Amino acid sequence: MGLSGMFKELALLAVKLTIVVTSVAAQAKSGCQSNCGDISIPYPFGYDCYNSSGRDTDLYFDMWIELSKFTLSHTKNKFTAIGCDTYAFVEGDVGHKYSTGCLTFCSDIVDVINGSCSGIGCCQTAIPKANGVRSYHVTLSSQNNHSQVLGFNPCSYGFVVEDGTYDFSVSDLYSNDFIDKEFPIILDWTIGNQTCEEAKKDPENYACKQNSYCENSENGPGYLCKCLDGFQGNPYLSGSHGCQDINECEIVNSCNQTCYNLPGSYNCSCRKRFEGDGWKNGTGCSRPVNNRSLVNIFLGLWII
């Protein structure tokens, strides 16, 4: 099978895209559904392939994804492009209009470095900070139709991926299996459409439980709940599954001698017959100096 035929066959395959929703704690409330199953989206990236005659129109796909409820996280995702003659663009106008992109070039495969997405074979850029991004549209173009790099890079790819999860490999420029790969993205979610101030006026439906605080969403309407400093757990649940005090004495313990755990914090002290604040980064704990003993020693040395 030739290169063109092989990519045509691969292009018919649906590629699974794992969507990871911003999480709190793994503990779910008793009786509540704890997962929504796998979410599959065909063709999670755009691609653009060429042959000796130029662009192969059967192997060009500019991807468009639209989300009805969740929003793309601008802090935890990166727009990524792969290619050696590649202009890549991502834009959206659902929820908020935005656009960005990056370009990546290389003339010889020996110039490409594994793990580097600085513009030589691979490039990455941030998703613009916008209020409620719920779509992205990937388009690709080429300056020279890959004619100078066709022997090792016939195709360009563009996709949104969770920051830090994609490790670029030189083989991705020519691998026949790249289209089978799975890439996670992070989606943001919020409680309702109210601000914290508005939600607190309705205590019966206010979602933040004990030892937690409310934070307005930075990515669209609604709010989030988070555990107070010194607590961990699920801020949306009460009781033993909610935000529980962290025993810092068992975890961090910066005390020189004695550690006392407190709700949301801890304190240090010294044992009897020692003085100081008890902290390792403070004055610590030490035995007090007996001035009378020093005088006696000094006098003894002077008499001698």
Residues 72/136, Cβ–Cβ less than 8 Å: yes
E strand spans, the chain: 19-21, 45-51, 54-61, 64-66, 71-72, 77-82, 85-92, 98-105, 122-126, 135-141, 155-162, 185-188, 212-216, 223-227, 231-232, 244-245, 258-262, 265-269
Local confidence pLDDT in tens for the 304 residues of the chain? 443 333 333 222 222 333 344 434 434 455 544 444 444 443 456 888 999 888 888 777 777 777 777 888 888 999 999 999 999 998 887 666 788 999 999 999 999 999 999 999 999 999 887 666 778 889 999 999 999 999 999 999 999 999 999 999 999 999 878 877 888 888 888 898 899 999 999 999 999 999 999 999 887 789 999 999 999 999 999 998 999 999 999 988 899 999 999 999 999 999 999 999 999 999 999 998 765 555 554 445 444 4
From the list 49, 210, 209, the residue with the least C-alpha distance to 140 is 49
Q: What's the order of all strands across the beta sheet hosting 135-141?
A: 64-66, 135-141, 85-92, 98-105
Beta bridge pairs of residue 93: none
| CA 178/CA 47 separation, integer angstroms | 11
CA dist list (Å): 64 to 93, 158, 203, 245: 11, 12, 40, 45
Q: Is 58 helix (H, G, I), strand (E, B) or coil?
A: strand
Residues 52/4, Cβ–Cβ less than 8 Å: no
Q: Please name the amino acid found at residue 21.
A: V
pLDDT at 131: 66
> pLDDT per residue over 219-230, tens digit each?
778 999 999 999
pLDDT at 188: 85
Largest CA distance in the chain: 106
Q: Which residues contact 140 (CB under 8 A, 6 or more apart)?
A: 46, 47, 48, 60, 62, 81, 83, 86, 87, 88, 89, 156, 157, 158
| CA 66/CA 140 separation, integer angstroms | 19
Q: What's the order of all strands across the beta sheet hosting 19-21?
A: 19-21, 185-188, 71-72
